[in-house]
Amino acid sequence: MNTCMVYITASGPDEAGRIAQTLLEERLIACANILDGIRSRYWWQGEIASAEEVVVICKTRETLVPRLIERVKALHSYECPCIVSLPIANGNPDFLEWIRRETARESS
């Protein structure tokens, strides 16, 4: 089972926390880091826009990413939320096994 990190941006700490909590409760992720105070600049509807955002970095198994994406889209306030998966090429074997173990359990 391959592991990955999923990078998500959210409108603020409340939304980020709600998304992370739901993904944890549903065992779609083993862990989420919430990073507040991100300043984003991006193209949106033909213009350059800017926003204060919060980043959520989730650790999970690659096989769960499609379900995770659909769940985040259902929970998210954005029309087109940033949800991207990045493979974990290497790391602490014990930590990677922990990710696999925690996401293999049934949701509570």
Looking at residue 38, which CATH number applies to its domain?
3.30.70.120
**What was the pLDDT predicted at 107?**
61
What is the domain range of residue 28? Answer: 3-104
- State how many domains the chain has: 1
**What was the pLDDT predicted at 106?**
66
**What was the pLDDT predicted at 70?**
98
Which stretches of the chain score pLDDT less than 70? Answer: 106-108
Strand order in the sheet with 83-87: 31-44, 47-61, 3-10, 83-87
